[in-house]
Amino acid sequence: MTNDLTTKKMKFKPAVLSLIALLIFTCYLFAFYPGYMSHDSAYHYSQVESGEWTTFQPVVILLFWKTTNMLIAGPGGMFLLFLLLYLTGLWLLSCYMQGGYISRILLLLLALSPVNIMLFPHIWKDIGLLVFTLLSLGLLLLSQRHLLYLWCSIFSLWIAILFRFEAILYLFPLVYFQGQQYLRLRFRLRADNIDKPIRYRWAVIFVVLFVVASVSGNRLLVSVSNSYKVTLWPTIALWDIARVSIKEEKQLLPAFTVGPGMDVADLAQATQSWTNLSLLANTKAGIHSGLFVPYPAEQYQILLKLWLSLPLRYPNSYFEHRWELLKDLLRFDETPDKPQDLFWINQIIQYGERFPVNNSPLNQKINHWLIQHKDDFYFKPWFYILLALLILLWRLLWRLQWRLLWRRRCEKLNTQQRLADYLLYSAFLSVGVLFFLAPAAEQRYLIILFNFVPLAACLTWAKQDNQ
């Protein structure tokens, strides 16, 4: 079947890309194995070993870690699993995209970008989200050969969402795109030959079904694993309310969440603009977060209503607070008091004696280089937002200028270029979601932005490279 993403006669040798992927795998293995574990990672692993699971983290990461732990104890198994999935996704994308050698190799070398070298070695749910999403994208290109690969792509994206459930808020453009692809492949039709109302209606229905499947899947995993339910959103709500309280100069936190004597001065000395952890740990009066001693149901409702009312009742203070966090997250304002933990943790917390961290000469050189260069522009999220805007502008100008002259070529590359568009949409949405929901300015939360923008650039460049 002729398609617009792959050609039957490939003008390159996939073995070259396979060799490059193998070299990247070897470099990561020597430089970072068995990976890094932050405090969150250590807490996840303690649950894997004890069998007493909670929903403090997505249950899916505990399920995968328990499986790999039976083969390779500690973080090493998860590190290898994530690395294999990550490189498989990039390899599929580089093999089955359209373009010449340059664009394909550049896409594969995304694994060696400085920001990925900084973030990827950690055993984080954010990395799980990334690797299964990239695998889904690779299978999406491969689906031009058989509808089965599209179902595998959908399943992989479904697993990715389970690693960070709020990711559905910014990955739904990819789900929408998968719905359109299913309609076209199922009925052997070009997307342009399907009536727009039908195409849009079906894609929206597909997104709704995907969301329902994600919610149901998460609940099923929690139920089957008998995990203790921990409600996390109050930690963000309390921080938002505390920061607004400081700006409004009046204590707004509900009485059941604070200890006796809580006042604005106590909140001011305890909180920081770039993380919610200081509020939970540093107040003199004390904070009851509801993490391990849950609130009664009616108190959850009171806290939720107060939290959701902040943008309406105190818009100036609320948006000023969230903008301060976003500036820290995107690294517009750099201050020397930011801890390295916001960027990367080259340690194995709590389990370092059992699973020694990689201290090879290569690892030490990389960490030294990261310390020296972490403030360079290519590490800063605002640079990727600027790059995404430039890509969108370039694509708009290209379409306006060459729409008639290159009409046939544009149609041929239409699906691949639409995929690049959807990647950019998801990247921008991820920043928008973090504006409201990020609990700290940790760079790992922007892992989708860091990867989707260069990937969209490669897909966009591939069009020019192939002409």
Rounded to the nearest 5 degrees, what angle is found at the Cα of 16, between the Cα atoms of 10 and 17? 85
Could you tell me if 359 and 53 are in contact, meaning their C-beta atoms sit under 8 angstroms apart? no
Output the CA torsion sign for 319, 325, 331, 334: positive
Query: Crossing angle for the helix pair 59-71 and 39-50, nearest 10 degrees?
Result: 70
- Provide the pLDDT for residue 190: 53
| Structure-block tokens of residue 113 | 């970008």
How many CB atoms are closer than 10 A to CB 297?
Answer: 7
Tell me the C-alpha distance between 395 and 380, whole Å: 23
Model confidence pLDDT, tens digit, residues 344-388: 888 999 898 899 999 999 999 999 999 999 989 999 999 999 999
Helix (H, G, I), strand (E, B) or coil at 334: coil
Tell me the C-alpha distance between 178 and 35, whole Å: 33
Mean pLDDT by 10 residues, the chain (467 residues): 43 81 96 94 94 92 96 96 97 88 90 95 96 96 85 95 94 92 72 63 87 93 92 94 95 94 93 90 91 90 96 96 94 77 88 92 94 92 96 80 51 69 95 96 95 94 57
- Provide the pLDDT for residue 405: 53
pTM value?
0.92
Half-sphere exposure of 443 (CA within 13 A, CB side): 28
